[in-house]
């Protein structure tokens, strides 16, 4: 009997831009930044716990969901920041990708106002399959639409793989830029041994500034630039957030090599040590006629776990509330 891998079935019947290649992209948001660039670990100074829930292509019954948790802080004893993250990408009820990693960023003062964080991350991928929910073409009765037992056998082998990545963050006055190179080991999650099925190396760029709106205003304008590059694919965007100590509004326009243009808007509210945030992304223009309007819902919480003022020890920044 022929043997089919569930990942191939997902690739055929769920061709979506957000799930490019073998890796799920969370986009330009700073609430999941530790996964994209280890150089950001501890850069806000205080210890911060971040929780996110992401729903891809909501309202289309694709059942593409992700949950994310991370913690990072600055630690004077190791001259830098450190943190961890855990994410679980549940794809169509068939594939379950669990990823966990540790990140460290060494803080270096390279000039009077120039600070550089040099980061390294080590992570582990685990891919599991739920083959009981896979429906093959030969199971569907074309007359009445019923689902019969298949004569084929599925190969639902779980896989685990090790991965590393590196990144840096430069801060100078009102400006910040980060660059990372991920998946340096190009882990094989498909189990086929084919080079084309490996997780591809990924380059991620983040840049932002911070400007006060008026001499007496408590609001900040933070322009944002984002780029994500893989072999044969890129996504880039630009936008801004307007925020004060309690509220923020953000917007960013994104485009990619699949000839799709998307718009993401978000907001946040902070009280004490807790912040609630929400982002919504939808498609403006696309060459894919089947691409739905709604692309992503993201909701989450952040908790500042201590009030230690690390700014007296090392330079610290506030992430844009995106």
Using the Cα atoms of residue 7, residue 11, residue 12 and residue 15 in order, give the sign of their dihedral: positive
Confidence of residue 17 (pLDDT cuts 50, 70, 90): very low
- Examine residue 58 and state whether it is found in any structural domain, yes or no: yes
pTM score of the predicted model: 0.82
What are the tens digits of pLDDT across the range 282-306? 999 887 666 778 889 999 999 988 6
pLDDT higher at 188 or 279: 279
Confidence of residue 14 (pLDDT cuts 50, 70, 90): very low
Contact 209, 222 (CB under 8 A): yes
What are the tens digits of pLDDT across the range 137-175? 544 545 554 445 555 544 556 788 899 999 999 998 889
Confidence of residue 134 (pLDDT cuts 50, 70, 90): low
> What's the domain range around 275?
3-140+147-312
What are the tens digits of pLDDT across the range 27-76? 888 899 999 999 999 888 778 999 999 998 887 777 889 999 999 999 88
Q: Which of 11-20, 129-138, 268-277, 305-314 has the highest mean pLDDT?
A: 268-277
Contact 79, 106 (CB under 8 A): yes
Q: How many domains does the chain have?
A: 1
Q: What are phi and psi of 132, to 5 degrees?
A: -65, -20
CATH of the domain at 58: 2.40.160.40
For residue 289, what pLDDT is reported?
67
- Examine residue 321 and state whether it is found in any structural domain, yes or no: no
Q: What is the DSSP string of 270-303?
A: EETTEEEEEEEEEEEEES-TT--SEEEEEEEEEE
Cβ count near 214 (within 10 Å): 7
- Examine residue 318 and state whether it is found in any structural domain, yes or no: no
- Examine residue 320 and state whether it is found in any structural domain, yes or no: no
- Examine residue 63 and state whether it is found in any structural domain, yes or no: yes
- Examine residue 322 and state whether it is found in any structural domain, yes or no: no
- Examine residue 229 and state whether it is found in any structural domain, yes or no: yes
């Amino acid at each position: 009997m022929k043997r089919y891998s569930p990942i191939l079935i997902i690739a055929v019947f769920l061709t979506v831009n957000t799930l490019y290649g073998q890796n799920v992209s969370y986009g330009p948001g700073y609430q999941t930044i530790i996964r994209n660039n280890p150089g950001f670990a501890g850069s806000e100074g205080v210890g911060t716990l971040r929780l996110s829930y992401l729903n891809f292509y909501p309202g289309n019954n694709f059942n593409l969901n992700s949950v994310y948790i991370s913690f990072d802080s600055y630690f004077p004893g190791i001259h830098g920041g450190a943190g961890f993250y855990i994410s679980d990408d549940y794809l169509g009820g068939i594939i379950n990708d669990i990823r966990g990693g540790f990140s460290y960023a060494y803080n270096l003062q390279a000039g009077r106002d120039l600070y550089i964080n040099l980061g390294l991350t080590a992570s582990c991928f685990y891919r599991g399959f739920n083959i009981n929910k896979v429906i093959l073409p030969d199971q569907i009765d074309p007359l009445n639409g019923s689902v019969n037992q298949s004569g084929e056998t599925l190969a639902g082998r779980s896989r685990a793989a090790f991965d590393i990545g590196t990144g840096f963050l430069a801060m100078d006055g009102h400006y910040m830029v980060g660059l990372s190179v991920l998946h340096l080991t190009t882990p094989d999650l498909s189990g086929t041994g084919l080079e084309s099925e490996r997780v591809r190396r990924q380059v991620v760029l983040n840049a932002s500034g911070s400007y006060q709106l008026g001499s007496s205003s408590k609001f900040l304008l933070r322009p944002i630039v984002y780029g994500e590059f893989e072999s044969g694919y890129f996504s880039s965007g630009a936008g801004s957030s307007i925020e004060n100590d309690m509220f923020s509004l953000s917007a960013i326009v994104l485009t990619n090599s699949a000839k799709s243009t998307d718009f993401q808007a978000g907001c946040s509210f902070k009280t004490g040590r807790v912040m609630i945030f929400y982002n919504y992304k939808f498609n403006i223009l696309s060459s894919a006629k089947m691409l739905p309007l709604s692309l992503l819902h993201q909701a989450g919480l952040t908790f500042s776990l201590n009030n230690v003022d690390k700014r007296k020890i090392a330079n610290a920044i506030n992430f844009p509330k995106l």
